[in-house]
Chain A
Amino acid sequence: SQTIHQWPATLVQPVGSPLSLECTVEGTSNPNLYWYRQAAGRGLQLLFYSVGIGQISSEVPQNLSASRPQDRQFILSSKKLLLSDSGFYLCAWSDRLAVYNEQFFGPGTRLTVL
């Protein structure tokens, strides 16, 4: 069966510090991968998606970047965090070959920028 991992689970960082959040998927190959941010009262915002190694698309301009160094690894980064980067970050995957391909979510990372 497939599983998706995210770490860390929680993170408190000062403004201006760097960020690296990691997401890995097990039990599947060539997944589509996604990063979302969930801010209080604002639903889910798609930040990045990837359909393959090294292929990253950004949905919104922002202070963050993403990378996919391996097929089942997706990393969210920032060089200098802003207060507005606080939120709950969710990684998800979907089966690229499935026609009706629901997304499967990781447990999330709660980021607080002080």
Chain B
Amino acid sequence: AQSVTQLDSHVSVSEGTPVLLRCNYSSSYSPSLFWYVQHPNKGLQLLLKYTSAATLVKGINGFEAEFKKSETSFHLTKPSAHMSDAAEYFCVVSNSGGYQKVTFGIGTKLQVIP
């Protein structure tokens, strides 16, 4: 069984300040982990993915995430928020190989205040 918990449904930051979106997971397998971003009325876009090659993963638009097995966490960070970062972010866990069993988190809405 696998699950993913996004610890905050809403996060509000000022433009230019750091962003932290938290995600914890559980998985019976060696998981693949992903972060997706969704702007209003749009599809989901992949930000970054962890596939066991490196624990610190860099993605698009200056985002990065660190896989911490001991904490079962995969938090998303960005040093300086931009207005265009305002969107909903989804943490996703997937079993590796075979049919891809994918579990989405409930999502975190990021508000960026000018």
Contacts and interface: CB of A to CB of B under 8 A. Distances in A.
A42 to B, nearest CB: 7
B12 interface: no
Interface residues of A, number: 24
A108 B90 contact: no
Given A44-B104, A100-B51, A102-B34, A51 B99 contact: yes
Interface in A16-58: 32, 34, 42-44, 46, 49, 51
A94 B46 contact: no
A90 B46 CA distance: 14
A42 B46 CA distance: 20
B83 interface: no
B24 to A, nearest CB: 15
Contacts of A49: 99
B78 interface: no
A63 interface: no
Contacts of A106: 43
- A102, A104, A106: residue with the most chain B Cβ atoms closer than 10 Å: A102
A23 B46 CA distance: 19
Given A32-B100, A51-B99, A99-B96, A44 B90 contact: yes
Given A32-B99, A32-B100, A43-B90, A100 B49 contact: yes
A49 to B, nearest CB: 8
B13 interface: no
20 contacts: A32-B100, A34-B102, A43-B90, A43-B104, A43-B106, A43-B107, A44-B90, A44-B104, A49-B99, A51-B99, A102-B32, A102-B46, A102-B94, A104-B46, A105-B44, A106-B43, A107-B43, A108-B41, A108-B43, A110-B41
